[in-house]
């Protein structure tokens, strides 16, 4: 009689032809591209959840999570917020893929968690899918500029090739979450980025302290990756 949450994703909308994305939009996904294993995997998971709901009355909750960021992200997982902050803090080149005009809508992690808890606490007849994200849309160029300004970095921006099937625009319509869950995001991008920058600054500092020769090392040398 367990209730089960599917952490689904905005990726199920693929490169969306509808903007902003509402839950009733079926998506625009390439089945054979480099991103497809993730997109189609999540789409198939949603299908299975709903089959189990119909066949076995399993108590399902399906959240479609839009780009989430915040403290405790992995510094090397390749996502844009962690990449740009790590690059900016170390005055390395900021790598923008494509021309940076593509957009995402970034949700601060604690807001996402609140949304998921509210979803789990909602009545059993509410299955979702429901979008959980922050509708404040931002281009990748704007994101880079903000991070450079907040970190007072001397990094340069470099433009490299855009990965295949990289969505052009992404923004959640959260009308359903507001109405059914009484949820909406409260931490705006500037504040959330500053909290995340603070986290990564401390992470880098703790690694550089460990790497100092004096006083005698208590720990073996660790990379940022291992510490995280
Ligand atoms: N991106 C970028 N530079 C990076 C990492 C990502 O320009 O160092 C771009 C990426 O091409 C995409 C956007 O930032 O357009 C968000 O990428 P991420 O992997 O964080 O999320 P997703 O594409 O899954 O929404």
How confident is the model over 178-187, as pLDDT tens digits? 999 999 999 9
Peptide bond into 129 cis (omega under 30): yes
What average pLDDT score do residues 101-109 get? 98
110-135 pLDDT tens trace? 999 999 999 999 999 999 999 999 99
User: Of 38, 104, 141, 164, which is best to mutate to test ligand 1, by the most ligand atoms within 8 angstroms of its C-beta?
Assistant: 104
Question: How many Å apart are CA 167 and CA 101, to the nearest integer?
Answer: 11
38 is catalytic: yes
156-177 pLDDT tens trace? 999 999 999 999 999 999 999 9
Task: Give the per-residue pLDDT at 1.
Answer: 84
- Adjacent-strand bridge partners of 61: 5
Q: With bands split at pLDDT 50, 70 and 90, how would you rate the model's confidence at 218? A: very low
Q: Which of 38, 52, 97, 199 is catalytic?
A: 38
C-alpha 212 – ligand 1 centre gap (Å): 33
- Within 6 A (CB) of ligand 1 lie 67, 79-80, 83, 95-97, 102, 104, 140, 163, 166
Q: With bands split at pLDDT 50, 70 and 90, how would you rate the model's confidence at 221? A: very low
Peptide bond into 20 cis (omega under 30): yes
**8 A C-beta contact, residue 133 and residue 67:** yes
Task: Give the per-residue pLDDT at 213.
Answer: 59
Question: How many Å apart are CA 115 and CA 61, to the nearest integer?
Answer: 12
12-65 pLDDT tens trace? 999 999 999 999 999 999 999 999 999 999 999 999 999 999 999 999 999 999
Task: Give the per-residue pLDDT at 59.
Answer: 97
Give the global pTM: 0.91
Q: How far is CA 75 from CA 36, 69, 72, 85, 165, in A?
A: 24, 11, 8, 9, 24
Question: How many Å apart are CA 128 and CA 30, to the nearest integer?
Answer: 24
Question: How many Å apart are CA 17 and CA 13, to the nearest integer?
Answer: 9
């Amino acid at each position: 009689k367990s209730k089960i949450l599917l952490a689904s994703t905005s990726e199920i909308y693929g490169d969306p032809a509808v903007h902003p994305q509402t839950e009733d939009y079926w998506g625009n996904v390439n089945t054979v591209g480099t991103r497809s294993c993730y997109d189609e995997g999540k789409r198939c998971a949603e299908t299975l959840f709903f089959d189990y709901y119909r066949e076995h009355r399993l108590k399902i909750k399906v959240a479609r999570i839009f780009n989430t960021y915040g403290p405790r992200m992995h510094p090397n997982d390749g996502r844009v917020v962690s990449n740009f902050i790590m690059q900016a803090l170390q005055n390395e080149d900021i790598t923008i893929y494509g021309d940076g005009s593509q957009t995402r809508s970034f949700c601060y992690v604690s807001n996402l968690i609140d949304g998921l808890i509210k979803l789990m606490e909602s009545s059993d007849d509410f299955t979702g899918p429901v979008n959980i994200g922050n509708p404040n849309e931002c281009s990748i160029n704007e994101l880079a500029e903000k991070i450079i300004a907040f970190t007072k970095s001397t990094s340069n921006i470099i433009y490299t090739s855009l990965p295949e099937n990289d969505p052009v625009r992404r923004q959640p319509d959260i009308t359903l979450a507001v109405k059914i869950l009484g949820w909406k995001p409260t931490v705006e991008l500037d504040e959330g980025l500053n909290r995340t920058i603070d986290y990564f600054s401390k992470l880098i500092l703790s690694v550089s302290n460990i790497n100092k020769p004096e006083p005698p090392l208590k720990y073996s040398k660790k990379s940022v990756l291992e510490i995280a």
